[in-house]
Chains A and B, each alone.
Chain A
């Protein structure tokens, strides 16, 4: 198992390098001159030349990349051009918020999507299957911003059950933090539940056809045990993979939903940064998001191996 994980880590290295190159080039591809943005009001050619020299913008591109990568490896992702705040510090503020939203959203998605998928597969072609599909379809087709606004109107404005905004970090006010995130997590979670339901359903349908499910029945096990132990256990692989990928997606931030519920996460940070040409922040956030995505993939692989003994033994 340790060897399996080590091998996966090794395989991930080229991907990480590739992504870092891309993130580095992002700054070169985005329109506008960072030096002009840095200098602010100052347009003095000497100052500009000084800045170029200071940030080694005259060096060949590969060298610039190496400087940048070296700094990044040491945790120096530059400073925000606007707020002068170190990017790493900014990420340290935003990441827990986004992480919390992602965990809560995925919990909602799994809690709704997985049981519905199992039910739809077991009751394939019946009323229940139809209902599950209809619910999934509506989850897919209702836009998040609309659902968010409707929820605010109903739950916050009319019923007054949950606050529509006023997020506080978990560490400062636990319940307020959870309460403000319930609605956005529901909005994001129901959207993802549809995808999860469909993957669970098709994975279960594939597994329910397997010989070992018939063997489990031939052993006289209860139908409940046949489905929840013998079938679901084997259908879990694809479901876990999809969940991990969805989680990665959630980490990239949910721009509209964060905006609607005024949640200070990655989604809002990256939009602000792009509009302000705050290159260092854009780079930092994209880099962290991409790394999180890779980590999620890795985690999915490991989970896969834990679930499937045959993979564990693979050389």
Chain B
């Protein structure tokens, strides 16, 4: 089993009493989700951790299982067909996966909040944003009038101009960026200790993306919440992450402090992602997409799931899933690690 200690952290194990409401890291170990009973593992023994006030970026191409990981943590997996079959998720001394549904629901939208990718479809078109944010605040225990005031205050805090007027706006009457700000206001209205944001800027224009990321960073600094930020863009990781977990085909293939991983990637997949990211690829070199596609759930290769696309692959790679090794302060699942690139440079 993967050991999150190797990322240098063990968050979430502290007892709830020792922590203020704002504090709450999360430590996930061996999360496994299968497609149907006994089906392929779309999330395979994923482990990662994030501390209070820190940002863990979960990065990987589309279809690597990032959203399912987030939904599993929220207790909102689409099941059927998805089934969580193993794993622990320690948060304020409790394992989220062992909580009765009613207790998990009590945490959702309160201590643990989620921001979704597409604010147009994720907000209810039939209700005003003020209504939707206040609904979340009432759920946190506020009386209607106080909830409305709180919703207005949150709209202001996320930088929506003229919050009082915007309360009455329907989602379709706002721009994409404003919608996502409203979504963020809704998620943060109860001052959560853990925020999970699933590609919150993917649907936005580049300039708006930067603004929304700035906003999230500022709000996190104020609240001290732990943030799990899901993205397919290593550029976002470079901007935001204190830690990073690189996911490929349902497995965390490399995890560690963002700065180390980005400076010196040790998994061929991380290397490939970097080579295809503007600003992070080889200096002066061409951007090169990783050839091939992420395998579908039903067609996972045996052994290392990256083998069919890996330029470093050798015979042994397809034999068995590569075990985690610890290199230079991060965890890597590759039998060829440390890569020659590192060895060559180190020599």
- Asked if B186 CB lies within 8 Å of chain A CBs, one says yes
Q: Cα distance A212–B135 when bound, in Å?
A: 14
Q: Cα distance A222–B125 when bound, in Å?
A: 19
For A218, the chain B residues whose CB sits under 8 A away are: 74, 76, 108-109, 113-114, 116
Interface range for B: 20 to 34
B227–chain A nearest beta-carbon distance, Å: 16
Q: Cα distance A212–B124 when bound, in Å?
A: 5
Residue of chain B at shortest CB distance from A307: B126
B102-143 vs A, CB cutoff 8 Å, 1 = contact: the mask equals: 000111111001101010011111110000000110010000
B123–chain A nearest beta-carbon distance, Å: 6
- Asked if A45 CB lies within 8 Å of chain B CBs, one says no
- Asked if B172 CB lies within 8 Å of chain A CBs, one says yes
- Asked if B98 CB lies within 8 Å of chain A CBs, one says no
Q: Among residues 83 to 110 in chain B, which have CB atoms less than 8 Å away from a CB atom of chain A?
A: 105-110
A200–chain B nearest beta-carbon distance, Å: 16
Say which residue of A212, A222, A233, A307 sits within 8 Å of B123 (CB atoms): A212
Residue of chain B at shortest CB distance from A212: B124
Q: Do A310 and B172 have beta carbons less than 8 Å apart?
A: yes
Q: A234-B124, A234-B126, A308-B125 are in contact. Are A219 and B173 (CB under 8 A)?
A: no
Residue of chain A at shortest CB distance from B140: A220
For A310, the chain B residues whose CB sits under 8 A away are: 125, 170, 172
Give the tally of cross-chain contacts (CB within 8 A). 66
Residue of chain A at shortest CB distance from B106: A220
Say which residue of B76, B114, B172 sits within 8 Å of A309 (CB atoms): B172
Say which residue of A214, A308, A309 sits within 8 Å of B116 (CB atoms): A214
Chain A interface SS verdict (over half): helix
For A308, the chain B residues whose CB sits under 8 A away are: 125-126
A38–chain B nearest beta-carbon distance, Å: 57
- Asked if A47 CB lies within 8 Å of chain B CBs, one says no
- Asked if A150 CB lies within 8 Å of chain B CBs, one says no
- Asked if A211 CB lies within 8 Å of chain B CBs, one says yes
Q: Cα distance A313–B128 when bound, in Å?
A: 14
Q: A215-B116, A234-B126, A307-B126 are in contact. Are A221 and B109 (CB under 8 A)?
A: yes
For B139, the chain A residues whose CB sits under 8 A away are: 219-221
Q: Do B116 and A219 have beta carbons less than 8 Å apart?
A: no
B21–chain A nearest beta-carbon distance, Å: 15
A236-275 vs B, CB cutoff 8 Å, 1 = contact: the mask equals: 0000000000000000000000000000000000000000
A191-212 vs B, CB cutoff 8 Å, 1 = contact: the mask equals: 0000000000000000000111
Q: Kindly name the residue among B116, B123, B126, B186 whose own CB sees the greatest number of chain A CB atoms within 10 A.
A: B126
Q: Do A217 and B126 have beta carbons less than 8 Å apart?
A: no
Residue of chain B at shortest CB distance from A234: B126
- Asked if A216 CB lies within 8 Å of chain B CBs, one says yes
Q: Kindly name the residue among A215, A217, A221, A233 whose own CB sees the greatest number of chain B CB atoms within 10 A.
A: A215
Q: Cα distance A219–B186 when bound, in Å?
A: 8
- Asked if A230 CB lies within 8 Å of chain B CBs, one says yes
B67–chain A nearest beta-carbon distance, Å: 11
Q: Cα distance A210–B74 when bound, in Å?
A: 17
Q: Do A212 and B105 have beta carbons less than 8 Å apart?
A: no
Q: A309-B172, A310-B170 are in contact. Are A216 and B186 (CB under 8 A)?
A: no
Say which residue of B113, B114, B125, B173 sits within 8 Å of A212 (CB atoms): B125
Residue of chain B at shortest CB distance from A310: B172
Residue of chain B at shortest CB distance from A213: B124
B37-56 vs A, CB cutoff 8 Å, 1 = contact: the mask equals: 00000000000000000000
Q: Do A234 and B125 have beta carbons less than 8 Å apart?
A: yes
Q: Cα distance A215–B70 when bound, in Å?
A: 13
Q: Do B125 and A221 have beta carbons less than 8 Å apart?
A: no
5 pairs of residues in contact across A and B, judged by CB atoms under 8 Å: A211-B116, A215-B122, A220-B106, A220-B109, A307-B126
Partner-A contacts on B (CB < 8 A): 74, 76, 105-110, 113-114, 116, 118, 121-127, 135-136, 139, 170, 172-173, 186
**Known pairs A234-B125, A308-B125 / 19 extra A-B pairs, C-beta < 8 Å:** A210-B121, A211-B116, A212-B123, A212-B124, A214-B116, A215-B124, A216-B124, A218-B76, A218-B113, A218-B116, A219-B186, A220-B106, A221-B139, A234-B126, A309-B125, A309-B172, A309-B173, A313-B170, A313-B172
